[in-house]
Amino acid sequence: MIARRWHGRVPASKAEEYLRLMAEVGLPDYRSTEGNRGAWCLHRREGEIVHVEMFTLWKDEAAIRRFAGDDLLRAKYYDFDPDYLLELEPEVTHFGVVEGEGPSGPLVGQSRSSLS
């Protein structure tokens, strides 16, 4: 299993609206992709900037490709993102998952991947 982390920065004045859009558009998009094992939108205020992190779990590289395309590390953006984000960071970060458990039980064991 692969954990994928995306980071963005939003002016605090636009954060509430942006987080609403991510809840209504982004999270359902992630979760509806075959092979997605979970998606969370996290946020943290730092002065007048709000850091937004999308943390997702994926069965394997094929699942990430269904969501983001062939370039596994390229960030996927929505049409509304440029209106809110201070910059469009080009890449995401991937992590191999050693062990984990969700409400339905263990999350690992379905697939192992060696991302470069």
Q: How confident is the model at residue 106 (pLDDT cuts 50, 70, 90)?
A: low
Question: In total, how many domains does the chain have?
Answer: 1
Whether the CB-CB separation of 32 and 38 falls below 8 Å is answered with no
Q: How confident is the model at residue 4 (pLDDT cuts 50, 70, 90)?
A: very high
Residue 75 included in any domain: yes
Residue 111 included in any domain: no
Q: Span 13-42, mean pLDDT?
A: 97
Residue 110 included in any domain: no
Residue 105 included in any domain: no
Token pair 């470069």 is at which residue?
116
Q: At residue 20, does pLDDT exceed 70?
A: yes
Whether the CB-CB separation of 58 and 35 falls below 8 Å is answered with yes
Residue 15 sits in a domain whose CATH number is 3.30.70.100
What rounded mean pLDDT belongs to the chain?
Answer: 90
What does the pLDDT read at residue 98?
Answer: 83
Residue 116 included in any domain: no
65-103 pLDDT, tens digit each: 999 999 999 999 999 999 999 999 999 999 998 866 666
Cα(116)–Cα(93) distance, integer angstroms:
11
Residue 108 included in any domain: no
Residue 41 included in any domain: yes
Please write down the long-range contacts of 74-79, taking CB distance under 8 Å and 24 or more positions apart.
75/6, 76/6, 78/21, 78/25, 78/26, 78/29
What does the pLDDT read at residue 100?
Answer: 67
Closest C-alpha among 29, 9, 2 to residue 81? 9
Q: At residue 111, does pLDDT exceed 60?
A: no
Residue 36 included in any domain: yes
Q: Which comes out higher in pLDDT, residue 103 or 53?
A: 53
Residue-number span of the structural domain to which 81 is assigned: 2-98
Whether the CB-CB separation of 42 and 60 falls below 8 Å is answered with no
